[in-house]
Amino acid sequence: MARRVLAHRRAELPLALAADAEVADRENARGSPRGRDEEQCNDDADPKRDYGSRIMTTDELLQGYARLAVEIGVNLQPGQDLQINCYPEHLELARAVADAAYRVGARWVDLNVTDPRVRRSLIEHGPEEQLEWTPPWLLTRLEDVAERQGAVLLLVGDAEPDLFSTLDQPRVAKARMKDLRTRQLQLVATGKLSWAIIGSPNAGWAEAVLGEPDVDRLWEAVGTTVRLDEADPVAAWREHITTLKARATSLNARGFDAVRFTGLGTDLTVGLSPRARWMAAETKTAWGQTHVPNLPTEEVFTTPDLRRTEGTVRSTMPLVLQGTVVRDLELRFANGEIVDMKASSGEEVVRKQIETDEGSKHLGEVALVDGDSRVGRTGLTFLNTLFDENATSHIAFGQALQEAVEGGADMTAEEMAEAGVNDSTVHVDFMVGGPGVDVDGLVADGDAVPIIRENAWVLPLDA
């Protein structure tokens, strides 16, 4: 997504190391770079490296990512509150984030830790009526940070992406705190929070991604995606944001009527509203605080017209959705609505999401990413939407991005509906781009202008 607040889950895979050996190995690795002498851990460039020039220890990556999350992600200001939401496996990075937050002047850091295995027990054994229930204190907690114009940071990285795959899938699909999710989407859409999402490498996630619990190697990959390997990561981020914004400006100047994806079984045309505007990287709160919601981010995105999507689309990467890995997802649209779907795994979970409400049958986002993406260049499938959606182009069914509509912040619900801006309690991103999928911008007379060819951005940045 551009701008996602999603609950991610995990996959049940065996670890190659005993727990105590894993901890000892991780602690030793933090003090020294993986497989390198200390003198090699400097800013000297290696011409064979694909990314930046700096080689860092795991601890340096962790501390650097924490600072990036605070100073670039939520852009925390002195006196502001920060709410951190994470899983138990994320605690080390969460503590580093809290330290970084207090160092820049946070008033209060509120840490909320939830355990997906407890959620699994609820799904398997709990009463049906509690599956969607939101504890009132969680809503109060969210409202409090919003009223204080605070910031919210979500840590993701599922240690067990398939944790819920063997459970009753209708119960899995239902098991989400509906009221909390709805209020989160409302606050994000209206700019009432400064927020961001970051990844937190852990042994289980590394096992799922790499085939072995090599946390250091996963940290190295994550570090490259967020430019921590650059000599000056902040300067690198500023340059990257400038490039993405230039792409968005170029798309806006051309005023495309629609975007078309073709290749690898996909032939999909996504109609755009005249009020839609392309955005990238940074956004602003209602009180004017800039922040970068996704770290990493590689996309330019906009809000489609919910009535104007036609054709068939096939996913090009797996999607982890509510503790289930969805593979080979295919959707068919007619008059803007999903009229047919199938998947080789996870079909029931996706179907239940699509049936959530009227808006969940329509698109709420279209985002473009080319092969120059730092995430895509790792060659990894992260089994995490924050990362995988920034590896390639993607679309999302469900809630639209109100910020990507001209004047959207001041529009009533009726005006939004009239403009074709979707409203839903879900927002599910899935990846549809990559090598073999071309992207064109369609002007009103039907002429096609190439945007992405052979996974490369070809649209000139000057309109």
* Domain residue extents for the chain: 19-233, 246-288+297-457
Coil, strand or helix: which one is 453? strand
pLDDT of amino acid 373: 95
pLDDT of amino acid 232: 86
pLDDT of amino acid 12: 26
pLDDT-flagged residues of the chain (< 50): 1-49
Amino acid letter, residue 398: G
pTM of this structure: 0.81
Separation CA 458–CA 449 (nearest Å): 10
pLDDT of amino acid 222: 96
For residue 78, is the peptide bond before it cis, meaning its omega torsion is within 30 degrees of 0? no
Amino acid letter, residue 61: L
Residues with Cβ within 8 Å of residue 268, at least 6 apart in sequence:
260, 261, 262, 309, 310, 311, 312, 313, 333, 395, 432
Stated as kind and residue range, the H or E segment containing 305 is strand 304-314
List, for residues 251-278, the tens digit of each pLDDT value.
Answer: 999 999 999 999 999 999 999 988 899 9
Residue with tokens 């909320």: 112
pLDDT of amino acid 37: 33
Could you tell me the CA-to-CA distances from 251 to 298, 370, 402, 422 in Å, in that order? 15, 14, 18, 21
Give me the helices (H) in 58-103, please.
58-68, 91-103
Separation CA 132–CA 128 (nearest Å): 8
Give me the helices (H) in 86-126, please.
91-103, 116-125
Q: How many CB atoms lie within 10 A of CB 327?
A: 14
Q: Which CATH class is domain 19-233?
A: alpha beta
Q: Which of 6, 430, 377, 346 is nearest to 165 (CA)?
A: 346
